[in-house]
Amino acid sequence: MIADIGYLAILLSLLLSIYAIITSAIYLKTRNIKFFKSSNGAVYGMLLLTSLAVVSLLWLLFKGDFTVKYVYEYTSSDLSWFYRLTALWAGNDGSLLLWLWLLIIYTALVVKQNKIKDATPIATIILLINSFFFLFVMAFLTNPFEKLIMAQIEGRGLNPMLQSPGMIIHPLATYLGYVGFAVPFAFSMAALFLNQSDDRWIKVTRGWTVIAWLFLTIGNLYGALWAYEELGWGGYWAWDPVENASFMPWLTGSAFLHSVMIQERKNMLKIWNIVLIIITYVLTLFGTYLVRSGILQSVHAFGSSALGKYFLAFTLFVLVTSFVLMLFKIKLLKGEREFESLISKESSFLFNNLILLGMTFATFWGTVFPLISEAVTGNKITVSIPFFNTVNAPLGIILILLMGICPLIAWRKANIKNIIENFTVPGVLSIILGLILYFYGVRKLYILLGFVVTFFAFTATVWDVMKGIRTRKRITGESYGLSFIRLLLRNRRRYGGYIIHLGILMMVFGIIGSQGFGIVKQATAKVGDSVVIGSYQINYLDLKQTKDGKNVVVYAELQIKKDDRNIGKMTPHKVFYPTQKQPSTEVAINSTWIEDLYIILAGWELDGNATFKILINPLVKWIWTGGYYIVVGTLFALWPGRGSRVGGKYVKYQVNSFEGVEKNEA
Amino acid sequence: MNNRTRLILAVLIIMGAVGFLIFFGMQQGVGQILTIEEALQKKYDINISFIQMEGQINYDTVIYEPNKPLITFDITDEKNNITVIFKDVKPDNFDSGYPIIVEGRFLEDDRFLADKLLVKCPSKYEEVTEAGGET
């Protein structure tokens, strides 16, 4: 019954999406406001219906109605209510419903806000075409409410690896990010349709873009955290095709966030920005295609492959039509200001963009090359981790170097004085650090360079803030503390960006540390034995078995000492789920700012001998902590009110651009 | 040289560097996916940096030495056998009977040294087991 209601809601929503597209189009033709209102009503109706569908599926999952195929496949009656609900996005059909629901929520918000009167209907049509596609897929290909022919009394259960808190945030955040880029994309296309060559579409969708980027960042980060804690192989990133799929739009989205600043401030890079937003949105679709098609071997590919064709077709459709539209309107975007100097903020932003795109292209190449090779030559090949590291490590180092340079270098044309003023102290300090590290035995080129460049970007950023404080103190006579707080609050967009940069630098610091100085050791121990790794001594006390609900847990009790000081017990374990054939490994991690001690219980014999895989992963905690800085920085920059607008270092410039914004919006 | 030329030159240099890195990375990061039969034919091909192949574990041949750790076993396609050595602890689902994928290269004694072993789990989410060191 409820399953029927859910499916009916999807069908009705599909009809409404067609209706809303047609009425919006009629409105554009006739300018009769009635049609506009009717179309908006249809969008709200879709919101209501898809919400009903989501609630229906949640209810079925909660109740454990095993007559429904989706509920049967992804839950079982012993699963806690919490993970029953999260099974909404555990499988293909449910996660598509979630995606659609988010898209419609966003569309309704766009309609409600109605920020650019003439552009909103067009943007709405573009978003609705996307909804239509998803609704069509769900109505005819992957109905989440499909019933089983033979009723079942027990479900197959949720994969244990998905029963982890990380699995709540990672998919939700990733989807919120993916779908979020649809909005700036829709407005960019609307601007082209309307022959609007200014940057209104960028200003209006800036909040959307930044929030989408933030969610995608969180999504990727929690994906890495989940891999680190749940998959139990000791790492957090493996250049898996699906990881790449969400890394690529993150890269292009980051490029877009930077290059729109140049358009807003200098009216340059118009074509470039449109290209970037198209690529970013298409990459989110492409990512979904990769996950659904099953064409690549991956850590979390969904099985169904019939869906792949449709997604590929839709992705290509979006790519081709948006590029054709752009080429038709290319004249509109031309005639922009030229770069005045190679050494200026504008060009450093351009270089940052090129590097980000270079990384995207390399990652894309590595991900799809096996497919191309097989299609063209028939040779089946595989691209492995060394490829991605070889390409992305040096590019990443250049990117971080630019992160230190970009914010400080002058607009238009930097002169020698400006460069000396900004970069002498950070440069000298970084070289000193490099020498110290070298002296202490850090000899691997990338590791050494990575640390030096990260430190340079860090000191350059701090140096710039200090200069700002001094200037402000001189002009206003405030104390250092007050100057610092006011400086940040009055230019929140700028300093929010700095906080985000700080977060990225922390992550890079963690990545370099864990890549460069990790230790792995495997050991088999008798009860009572101890194993030494690094400065740790691990005493194997006992092997025990216990029950956790219906699951049987086998765990090793380990007493850990570091430099002869007791730091507590760790219990790596394996869980036997009744619904699964194989036990699942739960690692034990002791995390500090310096390093993680990461212990896997690999196996045991009946006599109590157990095998452990032990890793020391340095600085990993910095990666996750950097993520929090990014969240704080983004919110700081976005929080509405004074100080959140485009602003410069100099008070006068800020007023000018403030007026500019007002005029544009009037 | 005016600004435009300089800028174009800078852009070209960056693109060239990216292209070079991709080319360079391809030399070491790309392996061939072969059937067991093809792998046997091509085992001395020096142009192949590593091989990925799929097969069944012959469970009669498995020797597991957890204290080293080391697993030695034959991988088979019913007709041909290749002895594989994998220097790591046994993955969770090694004994499940599912096909496996190994990645690595042939040693001089014709055994295959795997640095990656993946069990083809039929679950919707496939588990990856990586060799150590790839943090």
Question: Averaged over A293-299, what is the pLDDT?
Answer: 57
Q: Which domain holds residue B100?
A: 32-135
Q: In which region does residue A15 sit, left (phi positive, over 0), alpha (psi from -120 to 50) or beta (all else)?
A: alpha
DSSP A197-256: -SSHHHHHHHHHHHHHHHHHHHHHHHHHHHIIIII-SS-S----HHHHHHHHHHHHHHHH
Asked whether residue A80 is domain-assigned, the answer is yes
Q: Read off the pLDDT of residues A185-201 as tens digits, 9 standing for 90 and up.
A: 999 999 999 998 888 89
A497 and A524 belong to one structural domain: no
Model confidence at B127, pLDDT cuts 50, 70, 90, reads: very low
In angstroms, the CA A574 to CA A603 distance is 9
Report the residue from B10, B25, B128 with minimal CB separation from A342.
B10
A3 and A117 belong to one structural domain: yes
Is the CB of B134 less than 8 angstroms away from the CB of A238? Answer: yes
- The whole-angstrom distance between A326's CA and the closest CA on chain B is 23
CA torsion sign for A388, A231, A213, A516 is negative
Is the CB of A394 less than 8 angstroms away from the CB of B21? Answer: yes
Asked whether residue A464 is domain-assigned, the answer is yes
A74 and A125 belong to one structural domain: yes
Q: What ipTM was reported for this prediction?
A: 0.83
Whole-number pLDDT of residue B19: 94
Query: In total, how many domains does chain A have?
Result: 3
Q: Which H or E run includes A106?
A: helix A92-113
A126 and A12 belong to one structural domain: yes
Res. A266: pLDDT tops 60: yes
Is the CB of B7 less than 8 angstroms away from the CB of A379? Answer: no
B88 and B71 belong to one structural domain: yes
Which has the higher per-residue pLDDT, A663 or A561? A561
Model confidence at A288, pLDDT cuts 50, 70, 90, reads: confident
A18 and A143 belong to one structural domain: yes
> Does residue A578 have a cis bond before it (omega within 30 degrees)?
no
A638 and A551 belong to one structural domain: no
Whole-number pLDDT of residue A643: 61
A479 and A569 belong to one structural domain: no
Whole-number pLDDT of residue A63: 92
Q: Read off the pLDDT of residues B8-49 as tens digits, 9 standing for 90 and up.
A: 888 899 999 999 999 999 888 888 888 899 888 888 887 788
B113 and B88 belong to one structural domain: yes
Res. A662: pLDDT tops 70: no
Res. B134: pLDDT tops 50: no
In angstroms, the CA A458 to CA A465 distance is 11
Res. A40: pLDDT tops 90: yes
Asked whether residue A475 is domain-assigned, the answer is yes
B81 and B119 belong to one structural domain: yes
Terminal CA-to-CA distance of chain A, rounded, Å? 52
Res. A658: pLDDT tops 50: no
B10 and B57 belong to one structural domain: no
> Which residue in B9, B11, B23, B124 has the most chain A C-beta atoms within 10 A of its own C-beta, making it the best mutation to test that interface?
B124
Assess A479–B contact: CB distance below 8 Å, yes or no: no
B98 and B119 belong to one structural domain: yes
Q: In which region does residue A411 sit, left (phi positive, over 0), alpha (psi from -120 to 50) or beta (all else)?
A: beta
Is the CB of B22 less than 8 angstroms away from the CB of A383? Answer: no
B4 and B63 belong to one structural domain: no
Q: Which of A492-496, A642-646, B70-74 has the lowest mean pLDDT?
A: A642-646
* CA A518 to the chain's CA centroid: 26
Is the CB of B127 less than 8 angstroms away from the CB of A299? Answer: yes
Q: Which of A116-125, A236-245, B124-133 has the lowest mean pLDDT?
A: B124-133
Q: Residues with Cβ < 8 Å from A375, sequence gap 6 or more?
A: none
Closest CA to A487 of A509, A517, A502, A466: A466
Whole-number pLDDT of residue A335: 66
Asked whether residue A154 is domain-assigned, the answer is yes
A537 and A398 belong to one structural domain: no
Asked whether residue A539 is domain-assigned, the answer is yes
Assess A401–B contact: CB distance below 8 Å, yes or no: no
Assess A584–B contact: CB distance below 8 Å, yes or no: yes
Model confidence at A155, pLDDT cuts 50, 70, 90, reads: confident
Which chain B residues are closer than 8 Å to A383 by Cβ?
26, 29-31
Closest CA to A579 of A35, A20, A42, A73: A73
Asked whether residue A276 is domain-assigned, the answer is no
Is the CB of B66 less than 8 angstroms away from the CB of A603? Answer: yes
- Local structure of residue A343 (DSSP, 8 states): S
Q: Read off the pLDDT of residues A196-252 as tens digits, 9 standing for 90 and up.
A: 888 889 988 989 999 999 999 999 999 999 889 988 788 899 898 888 999 999 999
B116 and B75 belong to one structural domain: yes
Which chain A residues are closer than 8 Å to B101 by Cβ?
297
Pairing of β B30-34 and β B51-65:
parallel
Whole-number pLDDT of residue B42: 85
The C-alpha torsion from A354 through A356 and A358 to A359, rounded to 10°, is: 170
A526 and A404 belong to one structural domain: no
Assess A581–B contact: CB distance below 8 Å, yes or no: yes
A5 and A109 belong to one structural domain: yes
Helix axes A385-405, B3-29, angle to 10 degrees: 150
Asked whether residue A111 is domain-assigned, the answer is yes
Pairing of β A610-618 and β A519-525:
antiparallel
Is the CB of A299 less than 8 angstroms away from the CB of B29? Answer: no
Res. A666: pLDDT tops 50: no
Assess A233–B contact: CB distance below 8 Å, yes or no: yes
Strand partners, A522: A613
B88 and B126 belong to one structural domain: yes
Is the CB of B18 less than 8 angstroms away from the CB of A233? Answer: no
Contact predicate A582/A607, CB 8 Å: no
Model confidence at B98, pLDDT cuts 50, 70, 90, reads: confident
Q: Read off the pLDDT of residues A565-588 as tens digits, 9 standing for 90 and up.
A: 999 999 999 998 887 777 888 999
CA distances from A234 to A520, A567, A625, B131 (A): 9, 21, 18, 10
Q: Read off the pLDDT of residues A369-410 as tens digits, 9 standing for 90 and up.
A: 888 888 888 888 888 888 999 999 999 999 999 999 988 887
In degrees and rounded to multiples of 5, residue A5 shows phi and psi of -60, -45
The single residue listed with the structure tokens 């230190």 is A404
Contact predicate A530/A486, CB 8 Å: no
Question: Averaged over A291-298, what is the pLDDT?
Answer: 63
Q: Read off the pLDDT of residues A526-544 as tens digits, 9 standing for 90 and up.
A: 999 999 999 999 999 999 9
Which has the higher per-residue pLDDT, A656 or A542? A542
Which chain B residues are closer than 8 Å to A385 by Cβ?
29, 134
Is the CB of B130 less than 8 angstroms away from the CB of A235? Answer: yes
Strand partners, B81: B76
- The whole-angstrom distance between B108's CA and the closest CA on chain A is 23
Average confidence score pLDDT of chain B? 81
Query: In total, how many domains does chain B have?
Result: 2
In angstroms, the CA A266 to CA A284 distance is 29
- The whole-angstrom distance between A234's CA and the closest CA on chain B is 6
Q: Read off the pLDDT of residues A507-529 as tens digits, 9 standing for 90 and up.
A: 999 999 999 999 998 888 899 99
B53 and B100 belong to one structural domain: yes
Which chain A residues are closer than 8 Å to B115 by Cβ?
none
A612 and A641 belong to one structural domain: no
In degrees and rounded to multiples of 5, residue A176 shows phi and psi of -55, -35
3-state SS, residue A401: helix
Which has the higher per-residue pLDDT, A307 or A64? A64
Is the CB of A611 less than 8 angstroms away from the CB of B132? Answer: no
Q: Residues with Cβ < 8 Å from A565, sequence gap 6 or more?
A: none
Average confidence score pLDDT of chain A? 88
Is the CB of A298 less than 8 angstroms away from the CB of B126? Answer: yes
The C-alpha torsion from A209 through A210 and A216 to A218, rounded to 10°, is: -160
Strand partners, B54: B101
B11 and B72 belong to one structural domain: no
DSSP B52-67: EEEEEEEEEEEEEETT
Question: Averaged over A476-482, what is the pLDDT?
Answer: 88
Model confidence at A336, pLDDT cuts 50, 70, 90, reads: low
Q: Which H or E run includes B106?
A: strand B100-106
B44 and B6 belong to one structural domain: no
Question: Averaged over A327-332, what is the pLDDT?
Answer: 88
Contact predicate A645/A661, CB 8 Å: yes
Res. A115: pLDDT tops 90: no
B25 and B71 belong to one structural domain: no
Q: What percent of chain A has pLDDT over 90?
A: 58
- Local structure of residue A196 (DSSP, 8 states): -
Q: Residues with Cβ < 8 Å from A126, sequence gap 6 or more?
A: A185, A186, A189, A190
Res. B101: pLDDT tops 80: yes
Q: What are the tokens at A569?
A: 């017990």
Closest CA to B34 of B50, B56, B52, B48: B52
Asked whether residue A478 is domain-assigned, the answer is yes
Q: Which domain holds residue A497?
A: 388-514+629-665
CATH code of the domain containing B69: 2.40.50.140
In angstroms, the CA A290 to CA A296 distance is 7
Whole-number pLDDT of residue A293: 65
Model confidence at B78, pLDDT cuts 50, 70, 90, reads: confident
Whole-number pLDDT of residue A296: 62
